[in-house]
Amino acid sequence: MTAASDAPQVRIDGLQYCNWSREIFREMRQGGLTAVHATVGYHEGFRETVRHLVDWRTRFRDNEDLILLARDSGDIERARATNRTAIFLGLQNPMPIEDDIGLIEMLFDLGIRFMQLTYNNQSLLGCGWMEKEDSGVTRMGREAIAEMNRLGMIIDLSHAGERTALEAISLSQRPVVISHANPRWLCDSNRNVSRTVLQALRQQQGLLGLSLYPLHLPNGSDTTLRQFGEMAAEAAQIMGAEHLGIGSDLCQGQPDSVVRWMREGRWTRQAQAAASFPPQPSWFGSNLDFPKVSEGLRSAGFGEAETSFVLGAAWHRFITVSLPSAV
């Protein structure tokens, strides 16, 4: 395999939803994070999402020495040159576009660069993994995929059902991502992804971000670094290290009440199972721990080039193709 020319310098986390603060942005810098894909919202409509984007503009202004708003791959280079972290903004649910295809472009213009077609439930675009029946990509979903392709907004299938994921991969004219999930056969949850989906993703030059969220890991919160590395090695057998990254799903500092919002939003009055964040693995509790991931990869036989791809070079290459610099 050809070594990644920028390997040691680039570290990218493909998904976080932290309780954002200057302390966390400092930890991104201390952990060497070149770029992070940050979740803006879940079940919010368009107007609430704009409010969150206003809050993000305040964060960028107040922490401009640590972070910058990333709109394309050129902003990754700008972040590296100025010792900052590039923040790509994304949506884990298409709720903010409501039933108006035109709002995709409005959100893109406001800085959104990733959007999931579904969260856990059926959406207007497709079916989430928790529904009993997966009816696939909807009529509006087909239109949304075409519009996202036109704009360059990255399609994320992390919470999609099996049929929806396979149809979306086939329909998209651009490679798509599953930003935060793991091989299902190593952690028996439909929230993770099957061999069939991974094979289709790889065939279309897509990318898988390995999740470090305990409920997605083979031994939950007790998963060791070596076990993580072994899981990554199995995923690499299908994806290849050059199409494999990290999407930690880190929710650092978030209160347990956020779990209920993430799972239930406003669509039900019935509380589901007890909602709380599980303990993080001992080796990954914050952005400070991101460099430790390399130890697990090396223990499973990843070489220098392969390790560099997973830590960020694969994401960097994907974003360079998907969001080329406007300069």
**Positions of the chain with pLDDT lower than 70, given as ranges:** 1-8, 271-274, 327
What is the pLDDT, as a whole number, of residue 272? 66
The two tokens of residue 171 are: 């329909």
What is the pLDDT, as a whole number, of residue 163? 98
Distance, first Cα to last Cα, the chain: 30
Residue 312 φ/ψ region, left for φ over 0, alpha for ψ in the -120 to 50 degree band, beta for the rest: left
Residue 41 φ/ψ region, left for φ over 0, alpha for ψ in the -120 to 50 degree band, beta for the rest: beta
What is the pLDDT, as a whole number, of residue 188? 82
Does the pTM surpass 0.85? The reply is yes
Q: Which residues pair with 245 in a beta bridge?
A: 209
Transcribe 130-182 into DSSP letters. TSSS---S-HHHHHHHHHHHHHTPEEE-TTB-HHHHHHHHHH-SS--EE-S--
What is the pLDDT, as a whole number, of residue 270? 79
What long-range pairs does 51-58 form, CB within 8 A, spacing at least 24? 53/89, 53/110, 53/111, 53/112, 56/87, 56/89, 56/111
- Which amino acid belongs to residue 60? F
Architecture of domain 8-112+176-322: Alpha-Beta Barrel (3.20)
Q: How far is CA 75 from CA 67, 101, 107, 150, in A?
A: 11, 27, 18, 21
What is the pLDDT, as a whole number, of residue 327? 65
pLDDT, one tens digit per residue, over 146-163 is: 999 999 999 999 999 999
pLDDT, one tens digit per residue, over 229-285 is: 999 999 999 999 999 999 999 999 999 988 888 888 888 887 666 678 999 999 999
Q: Which residues pair with 90 in a beta bridge?
A: 39, 114
What is the pLDDT, as a whole number, of residue 274? 60
What is the pLDDT, as a whole number, of residue 269? 80
CA 119 vs. chain centroid, Å, equals 12
* Rounded Cα distance, 62 and 38, in Å: 17
What is the pLDDT, as a whole number, of residue 1? 34
